[in-house]
Structure 1
Amino acid sequence: MPPRWPREPDRNDPAYRKLDDRMNFAIHVAIFAATNSGLWFVRTLQSQNWPWTVWVTGGWLLLLVVHAVYIFALADYSNSTASDKLPKSS
């Protein structure tokens, strides 16, 4: 059963942004896993060695870790909007 949002989806809603960011991260993890498992499977079948697969997997994994750190540690899902953060003129 797919997740259902109880109200109209709005990117300004902090709870919706948090859920959306986490679902995007899950999709990125799934694409990483599927692509790299296929890449390493083909590498094992080849008679020649593909040394670049280590760099592709390592670089992509690093980007995935950075994405995870941002989503789970740094992202601010407070209720404030961009107009609230502007300095008030007197």
Structure 2
Amino acid sequence: MPPRWSRIPTRQDADFRKLDDRMNFAVHVAVFAAINSGMWFFHNFLNTDWQWLPVVTLSWLGLLLTHLLYIAVIADYSGTPPKSI
């Protein structure tokens, strides 16, 4: 069951931004796991010669770790809303 929010959700709300970023990261992890496990399964099952597969997996994993670094260390979830340019 999805989390219930006690007030109107907006990106200006720091708690909502933090929850939204974490849910987006969880979706990113799920898509990474589903697609990469499928590619590696067919790579092994069909005995293919996909030279690009490790590059794609490691590149995507790097992006995933960068995303984690952003939400865990860099993102500012203080009470002040972000300034739009």
| Structure-1-length-normalised TM-score | 0.87
Kindly report structure 1 stretches of 4+ aligned residues shifted beyond 6 Å.
none
Based on CA coordinates, which of the two structures has the bigger radius of gyration? 1
Counterpart position of 1:88: none
Distance in 2 (CA, whole Å) between partners of 1:77 and 1:57 is 30
Tell me, which stretches of 5 or more residues in structure 1 are unaligned? 84-90
Identity over the aligned pairs, expressed in percent? 55
Partner of 1:33: 33
Which TM-score applies when normalising by structure 2? 0.92
Question: What is the CA RMSD across the aligned residues, in angstroms?
Answer: 1.2
Q: Highest relative contact order (Cα 8 Å, sep 6+), 1 or 2? A: 2
Partner SS, residue 44 of structure 1: helix
**Structure 1: distance between partners of 2:21 and 2:4:** 16
d(CA) in 1 for partners of 2:47, 2:73: 43
Structure 2: 5+ residue stretches without partners: none
Letter of the structure 1 residue corresponding to residue 40 of structure 2: W
